[in-house]
Chain A
Amino acid sequence: MKKVKKIIVLLLVATMMVSSLAACGKKSKDSDTIKIGLVFSLTGGTAISEECMYNSAKLAIEEINKAGGVKGKKIEYVVKDYATDPDTAVKVVKEMILQDKVSAIVGLYTSSSRVAVEPVLEEYDVPLVYPTFYEGEKPNKHVVYTGAVPNQQGDYFVPYLYKNVSKNFYLIGTDTTYAAGINKQAVTLIDKLGGKVIGNELVSSDTTDFADVIAKIKSDCGDQGCVIYANLNGDSGTAFYTQFAAAGLSEKYTIASFIMDESFSTALGKAAVGTYASVNYFNSIKSDANKKFLDAYSAAYGADKTKAVTAVGESTYDAVYLLSKSLEKCGNDISSDKILTNFDNLSFDAPQGTIKVDPDTHHIYAKARIGQVQTDGTIAIVFESDDVIKPEPVK
């Protein structure tokens, strides 16, 4: 008898659990608002870099809503944390699509997470606007890219360094697809220019002790000048800059990197001064649009945070605005195909200048800029391409 009672109790518990789970999270589409999903690393290894992206997205949504929203409808957003893990990214993107029923998604930083969610976007037919600059290979039909690709970055960076710093290059990268791809492209470019590749090193992503790498650099480069083309992830990168400067090598060789941005230059102090960075947006751009952007950012998040506004942050701001423009063109028919097609030739007066979406590739026309870190932690622009450049991702 007691055993039977136990079974009944357990069954009751089981059915209770099932019903509680089933009744969760079925949010129906509200016709008064448009729902989009934001996905960033709020915790995890790249949380520091993505904080600016998340803040910029929120700022853009607030501004759009204050100006009346998309054809009168307010933008409602759900934000999920993917903690720099591609598996978590897949999970939360699926959740946003299936449970929260979002119309489009903005976000992601790491290439691995973007690649991981592409099948999900295809299976459930939802577009993603991806704001981070990447290695420019194999773009996906369901993604719109508002970050730079190598022909808008590296293709200008390497020749500039070759002409103005040194013909010798020592390449270092974290053992990731992004850095390896970038460095490979650099090698081809350097060879074409006639420069010399003195070394090509890959380090693991949690390396914080660069004593041996620095020793090798010193031994291999000797007394000739050299560009240290370093593409290292977050923590590794800062460790490298500090140890490199501590070894006294900053006078002899110059570091140039894609990873350098205002969030690092303000934190690293002396170790970053004189090094080069290459993205399409710098905090120090003098334009009305940029001033408006930075003032609004400062009002929302404080002056300190504004000093660390980076290119990916500005790119996210652009992404949200471009998405809202596309949604406006959709009118009442908000489907993935329409959203994607409406991105064609869309232009926006971004803080970095006017950008336009290329209909062939769904990337943006943007200017290439090269900056050098100043003593106060800001990055001054030393080179700016004359006009926006057509994006050429490798299919």
Chain B
Amino acid sequence: MNNVKMKIIKEQLKNIAVIRYIDIAVFLFLIIFPFCSGTYWIYVMSGIMAFIIFAISLDLLWGYTGLMSMGHSLLFGAGGYMIGISSAYMNHVDWIDYKRLPWFLAPLSSEVGAFVMALVLPAFISLFIGLFMFTGKIKGVFFSLITLALAGIAELFVINQSKYTHGNSGITVISRTILSNSKNDRMSDFDYYFVVFGFLILIYIICLFIVNSRVGKVLQAVRENEERLTFFGFKPSVFKLLIYTISGMMAGLAGVLYVRAQGSINSTAVGINLATLVLIWVAVGGRGNLTGAMIGTLVLQILETKLTSTFSSISSDFVQYWKLVLGFIILLIVFLIPKGIVGTLIDRQQKHKDRKRKEVILQQEVIHHE
């Protein structure tokens, strides 16, 4: 009996996709990182990890369900701004001249409430948008363009409602903690790094659970052929709504973590720029597997930080060249590895497996004939 059990476990281990090993490597890298880096890079990496959570949330929506949201930053920024508004209000910052928060922002007067709102509001927004669009059978390019427009509107709206959001100047969030808004509660960059890392692991496990469950299979079916799915008796819009809400909540969480690490939030966090950037990260990394989102974000963000500092130390005139380099890199990636880094890896591994299987079959044929 034990022999058979061992064999089964061995078979299962063999079948764990390579990408999970890459995930483990990434996590190991992230754990070791703060021990051999300066404060600046720890701070940068905390922000990047928040972005990774953001990218994973988009991957759930785009990679697995096929809904390309070109305005995902709306949800990210919504979460961030909840924290921002709460922090400004509770610290009685000077530019505030309203005495009480309106009823729908009331939870923001407590820190825990702010954290909860930062998760609930994006979920609400995505629920609302989802209900609006999925019941009307909006799909494909329309979904993308509408979400794009929503991000654009959100940026205008945030700047316009400067009474709460301090408009263009943004809100400064002083306390680098999760559940506190006071000036004196500040984790060091090092400690906060591990808080973000903890959340990253949590989100990762949740997503792993979702995509490997039956719900995950249905989502992929939505991506592949939604019409046929209805013939099986499923209601795609329910699933789309569910995943959009979950994705929105995760994006909001990412916003919270990012704002705390960065120390400030402004309208670029809900804008089109960030929305397009996160699409690039997921596309470059490879969509449809959580690893791609992580790798894409890591590689591109680290590249950007390193390129800017390298270029500016060569010469100030060179600084504007790095964005040009980024544009070419994106083009190169689209040409050479269109499925993204991880996507191409999986492809090659698949081809390799197929070839091996064919060889085995051919060999068996030969033996058979002899």
Contacts and interface: CB of A to CB of B under 8 A. Distances in A.
The answer to whether any beta carbons of A and B sit under 8 Å apart in the complex is: yes
Contacts of B306: 24
B169 interface: yes
B44 A43 contact: no
A337 interface: no
Nearest to A95: B40
B312 interface: yes
Given A80-B312, A87-B268, A18 B36 contact: yes
A176 B172 contact: no
Contacts of A115: 169-170, 172, 264
B18 A6 contact: yes
B363 interface: no
A61 to B, nearest CB: 12
A298 interface: no
Nearest to A10: B25
Interface stretch (B68-76, B141-149, B158-166, B279-287): B158-166
Interface in A342-383: none
A86 B162 CA distance: 16
A303 interface: no
A15 B36 CA distance: 10
A213 interface: no
Interface in B15-59: 18, 21-22, 24-26, 28-29, 32-33, 36-41, 43-44, 47
A42 to B, nearest CB: 5
B168 A175 contact: yes
Nearest to A9: B25
A42 B38 CA distance: 26
A13 B263 contact: no
Contacts of B162: 175, 177, 180
A14 B32 contact: yes
B213 interface: no
Nearest to A122: B174
A116 B160 CA distance: 19
Contacts of A81: 308, 312, 316, 319-320
A175 B167 contact: yes
Interface in B308-338: 308-309, 312-313, 316, 319-320, 323
A98 interface: yes
Nearest to B315: A79
B95 interface: yes
B266 A116 contact: yes
B22 A43 contact: no
Nearest to B167: A177
Nearest to A174: B168
Interface in A117-176: 118-120, 137-138, 175-176
A203 to B, nearest CB: 10
A19 B35 CA distance: 10
Interface in A20-54: 21-22, 24-26, 42-43, 54
Given A78-B313, A87-B266, A94-B40, A176 B168 contact: yes
A384 B38 CA distance: 51
A112 B22 CA distance: 40
Nearest to A26: B38
Interface string B263-293: 1101011000000000000000000000000
Given A3-B14, A43-B320, A87-B262, A204 B170 contact: no
Contact of B323 (A43, A87, A91): A43
Contacts of B319: 42-43, 79-81
B210 interface: no
Nearest to B14: A3
A10 B26 CA distance: 9
Contacts of B365: none
Given A25-B309, A86-B170, A13 B25 contact: yes
Contact of A205 (B14, B47, B159): B159
Task: Give the interface residue-count category, chain B.
Answer: 35 or more
A7 interface: yes
Interface in B148-192: 156, 159-160, 162, 166-170, 172, 174
A394 to B, nearest CB: 9
Given A81-B308, A119-B172, A90 B167 contact: no
B21 to A, nearest CB: 6
Given A115-B169, A177-B162, A98 B38 contact: yes
Nearest to B33: A18
B320 A42 contact: yes
Contact of A177 (B24, B168, B302, B309): B168
A87 B264 contact: yes
A99 interface: yes
A111 B38 CA distance: 29
Nearest to A98: B40
A119 B168 contact: no
Nearest to B320: A43
A14 B29 contact: yes
Contacts of B36: 18-19, 22
A137 to B, nearest CB: 7
B13 interface: yes
A111 B169 CA distance: 7
A99 B40 contact: yes
B266 to A, nearest CB: 5
Contact of B21 (A10, A15, A17, A95): A10
A138 B262 CA distance: 22
Contacts of B309: 25, 80, 95, 99
A112 B266 contact: yes
B94 interface: yes
A211 interface: no
A204 B159 contact: yes
Contacts of A392: none
Contacts of B313: 78
Given A86-B169, A116-B172, 13 more contacts: A3-B13, A7-B25, A11-B28, A14-B25, A81-B308, A81-B320, A87-B266, A99-B40, A138-B94, A177-B95, A177-B169, A178-B168, A205-B168
Interface of B: 13-14, 18, 21-22, 24-26, 28-29, 32-33, 36-41, 43-44, 47, 94-95, 156, 159-160, 162, 166-170, 172, 174, 262-264, 266, 268-269, 302, 305-306, 308-309, 312-313, 316, 319-320, 323
8 contacts: A43-B319, A92-B308, A115-B172, A116-B172, A116-B264, A119-B264, A176-B159, A177-B167
The 4 closest A-B pairs by CB, nearest first: A98-B40, A10-B25, A176-B168, A112-B169
